[in-house]
Structure 1
């Protein structure tokens, strides 16, 4: 699977061009599924108005409103209660998954509970994450970002990429470079701090930073 892991969506030409290149065809010819699940776990973004804004393409973070051929909604919390043959073929046929931000551990929990985690490695779709939707792909997120807590505790996430992410660098009062350096010091994998004009592109394990802003790699 191909990953485009963003801090704040597809919000500049460089990230947009990277997405089109990964799709291998125009956005207008591509079908998308948006996943709002992470939003429900975070007190700042859901449930309510901001979840609707994301799904409807009325948010400040360009993802759903890029001009897709079609956009559907895939709510992970609903999937365990319906037969797999009602949603797995839909996911296998889609060109791109647009995964909202919110709480990364909440999203991780429902990725696993829904069966999406097992499905992801076999998909040909492009996975486009935003904030927590990107962070969930790391092996863990670090104590700094723990909000919603799983029953077994910890900060472990899916581990489908071998690095961690600190999003919104310099964009929020507490997401400073000093905070990122302290966070990275406690991580056991390479870690990227990225601002809202930056994304990380991963294809077959090869990592490339796509940026019109600021970022820093903290190596081990």
Structure 2
């Protein structure tokens, strides 16, 4: 699987170009499924109107509204009640999975419960387009600052598909978002490398190669 891990979505031409390169074709020729599940676990974004806005392409974060050839919805909380034959072929056929932000551990829990987490390793050409928590879920750990919900077993680990953590929504001190001072405090409890990203920045991971794509500000924290 190819990863496009964003803080704020596909917010500028550089990130969009990276997405097209990963797809291997124009967005207008690519099919996608959007995953809104993380939104339900975070009190600031769901459930309710903002979930609908994401799914319908009316979100302030450019994700669903990029001009895809087709767009469907994959709601992870529904999948455990369905036969795999009802949804696994849809995932395999999609060029991209477009994953909303919200609560990281809620998303991680339902990725595991639904079986999607186990399927990821078999999706070699699929592009995972993550927004905030949709990106952080691929990391090993997220830190208490970004946990709103905990699974019944208390496990606070994310999927660990990559070996670095992400501090999203970096903003200048005093501006809406998360400050560099907060990032530097957060990383003291993170055991591995981490990136602080603003909403004009993304990380691509293809065949194990990690690159930062940015028209904004970011920092590798250690």
TM-score using structure 1 length: 0.97
Which shifted more, 182-191 or 13-22? 182-191
Query: Counterpart of 2:192 in 1: which secondary structure?
Result: coil
Are residue 217 (structure 1) and residue 196 (structure 2) matched?
no
| Secondary structure of the structure 1 residue equivalent to 2:5 | strand
Cα offset for 1:152? 2.3
Helix, strand or coil for the counterpart of 2:196? strand
Q: How does 1:31-180 map to 2 (within 5 A)?
A: 31-123=31-123, 124-170=125-171, 173=176, 175-180=178-183
How far residue 173 of structure 1 moved from its aligned partner, in angstroms, is 4.4
The corresponding residue for 1:205 is 208
TM-score of the pair, normalised by structure 2: 0.96
User: SS at 1:158's partner residue?
Assistant: coil
Structure 1 gap ranges (5+): none
Q: Distance in 2 between matches of 1:118 and 1:7?
A: 24
- Gap regions ≥5 residues in structure 2: none
Aligned twin of 1:192: 195
CA distance in 1, matches of 2:143, 2:25: 36
Distance in 1 (CA, whole Å) between partners of 2:111 and 2:164 is 19
Deviation at 1:155, TM superposition (A): 2.4
Query: How far, CA to CA, are the matches of 2:28 and 2:41 in structure 1?
Result: 31
Contact 2:139–2:164 (CA under 8 A) maintained in structure 1: yes
- Root mean square deviation of aligned Cα: 1.1
Contact 2:169 2:177 (C-alpha < 8 Å) held by counterparts: no
**Count of paired positions:** 219
* Distance in 2 of aligned mates of 1:192 and 1:8: 14
